[in-house]
Amino acid sequence: MQARTGDALIVLDIGKTNVKLALVDAAGRLVAEERRPNAILRDGPYPHHDTEGIWTWMLATCRSFARRADVSAIVPVTHGATAALVDDAGLVLPVLDYEAALPGFDYAALRPPYAQTCSPLLPAGLNLGRQLAWLQHHHPAQFAKARHILMYPQYWAWRLCGVAAGEATSLGCHTDLWDPLRQDYSSLVARMGWESRLPPVRPPSDVLGTLRADVAEATGLSPDCEVLCGIHDSNASLVRYLGFDTAGTPRTVLSTGTWVIAAAFGASLDGLREDADMLANTNALGQPVACMRFMGGREFAALAGDQPASCSYLELERMVARGSMAIPCFADSGGPFAGQAGRIEGPAPVDAGERFALATLYCVLMTDYCLDALGARGPVTVEGSFTANPWFGPLLAGLRPQQALRYSDDASGTTCGGWLLRYRDGTPPGRSVPKPPRALAGLDAYRATWRAALQQAVAPVAAG
């Protein structure tokens, strides 16, 4: 029988691809972790999230965690561009998938100007304002029943404790709903009449309440278990670095997963460009942060194949020497080259190793492009799934010798960020590991050729 752990926290981490529950003790050590796919259902009026499947799985997993530790709190962490419309009984409409097409509705004329929101016009439902306006237009009766419009982390907090709240990191994530300079709602909210449905904005670390009695009974957790407001996942990855920014020291954090999001502390918002999917997110302290992103994890998988096998240095060298390169983009949603069909120039990869090499080079070049576009300065830390790639960091460092690069040894910065919301004075475990530059013959010329091939879509950013 396993020894029981003392005070601990559960982080509910809902990413676009997977859902994870992590049991973390008061010292920040991971005690247990369970995962399941984040399925999209197509049995309703539109593609939507399997909220009931997640809920049932979460209750059962929490019950197993309750036997392992004295859980004192739960914090929800989720992907952005997602909201739930609820009345007192629950959802009035399924939670719309942000990748769903939203036909038959002209949103562009409704949205605020980019200068107000620093939120670019995005495809499908990646602007949450578009989702809400589309739902209001196409499902007016159900929309009218909604008492609350809840950002996705706060929907799960509400289900756990019954308290409705808003929160700025999710509101400020390319939604068109938020003015990052004023840290208040944009003009869209008043224009659409949504003010009364948006609950009071609370800090992500706020305790909203304790578990509902039925949830405590279903999970075996204490009725005194507290529920925190919660946070947007990429912003959770930034929490451990916010203290370094108090003196205004420039630094960049790369949150990697389905999306690669470059958050450049100290970079000016003045250089953000809507056409390049550049935006200002709001961090956990309520500060705007210049960001740029592309769907790196999704594009890596498209290039590397269903069963990726890591490559050797020789295979990377071979792809560069041959001039084999991937020209964006290879995902349907977001990024500076959204809408452009990806293509391979030069000889195509012939096996799994070469496909992995090509995918790695592509993600390195895309990340380097984004960092230049942002004017990112100072050290770079890589968080998330790309830390499992032994070549990504060293090759990126080789292209950017002016910026020291490190890998976080916490493969899920979201878990650490959620933990820090509860244990704000604690020192998170783990460390960041330097990744010295790795020279690759011809890589600078390869980058120059790759950037020249982008000119038909977006004028390339000058190399830093």
Domain boundary among 207, 229, 251: 229
Residues 256 and 205 grouped into a single domain: no
Residues 205 and 239 grouped into a single domain: no
**What is the C-alpha to C-alpha distance for residues 206 and 429, in angstroms, rounded to an integer?**
23
Of residues 260, 349, 325, the one with CA closest to residue 298: 260
Give the β-pairing of 83-87 and 148-151: antiparallel
**What is the C-alpha to C-alpha distance for residues 458 and 252, in angstroms, rounded to an integer?**
23
Asked if residue 267 has pLDDT above 60, the reply is yes
Q: How many domains does the chain have?
A: 2
Residues 184 and 269 grouped into a single domain: no
Residues 57 and 72 grouped into a single domain: yes
**What is the C-alpha to C-alpha distance for residues 405 and 398, in angstroms, rounded to an integer?**
10
Domain boundary among 229, 260, 280: 229
Residues 173 and 314 grouped into a single domain: no
What average pLDDT does the segment 318-333 reach? 95
Q: Is the dihedral of CA 334, 337, 339, 344 positive or negative?
A: negative
Instruction: Report yes or no: 131 and 125 within 8 Å, Cβ to Cβ.
Output: yes
Asked if residue 200 has pLDDT above 50, the reply is yes
Domain boundary among 229, 246, 279: 229
Domain that holds residue 436: 235-452
460 located within any domain: no
Instruction: Name every residue whose Cβ is closer than 8 Å to that of residue 139 and which is 6 or more positions away in sequence.
Output: 45, 93
314 located within any domain: yes
pLDDT of residue 245: 45
Residues 368 and 248 grouped into a single domain: yes
Residues 200 and 79 grouped into a single domain: yes
- 431 vs 250 pLDDT, higher one: 250
224 located within any domain: yes
Residues 225 and 264 grouped into a single domain: no
Peptide bond into 329 cis (omega under 30): yes
**What is the C-alpha to C-alpha distance for residues 27 and 379, in angstroms, rounded to an integer?**
27
Instruction: Give the helix ranges, DSSP H, for 375-459.
Output: 392-399, 413-422, 443-452
Tell me the backbone φ, ψ of residue 58, rounded to 5 degrees: -65, -45
82 located within any domain: yes
Residues 206 and 290 grouped into a single domain: no
147 located within any domain: yes
What average pLDDT does the segment 231-239 reach? 91
175 located within any domain: yes
**What is the C-alpha to C-alpha distance for residues 251 and 247, in angstroms, rounded to an integer?**
11
Of residues 276, 438, 253, the one with CA closest to residue 370: 276
Instruction: Report yes or no: 168 and 180 within 8 Å, Cβ to Cβ.
Output: no
Asked if residue 308 has pLDDT above 50, the reply is yes
Residues 294 and 424 grouped into a single domain: yes
Instruction: Report yes or no: 460 and 432 within 8 Å, Cβ to Cβ.
Output: no
**What is the C-alpha to C-alpha distance for residues 167 and 157, in angstroms, rounded to an integer?**
11
- Residue 203 Ramachandran class (φ > 0 left, ψ -120 to 50 alpha, else beta): beta
Place of tokens 């840290």: 183
Instruction: Report yes or no: 309 and 349 within 8 Å, Cβ to Cβ.
Output: no
pLDDT of residue 233: 92
Question: CATH number for the domain including 318?
Answer: 3.30.420.40
pLDDT of residue 411: 60
65 located within any domain: yes
Residues 295 and 416 grouped into a single domain: yes
| 237 exposure class (CB count in 10 Å sphere: 0-12, 13-18, 19+) | buried
Asked if residue 1 has pLDDT above 50, the reply is no
Residues 316 and 434 grouped into a single domain: yes
462 located within any domain: no
pLDDT band of 247, cuts 50, 70, 90: very low
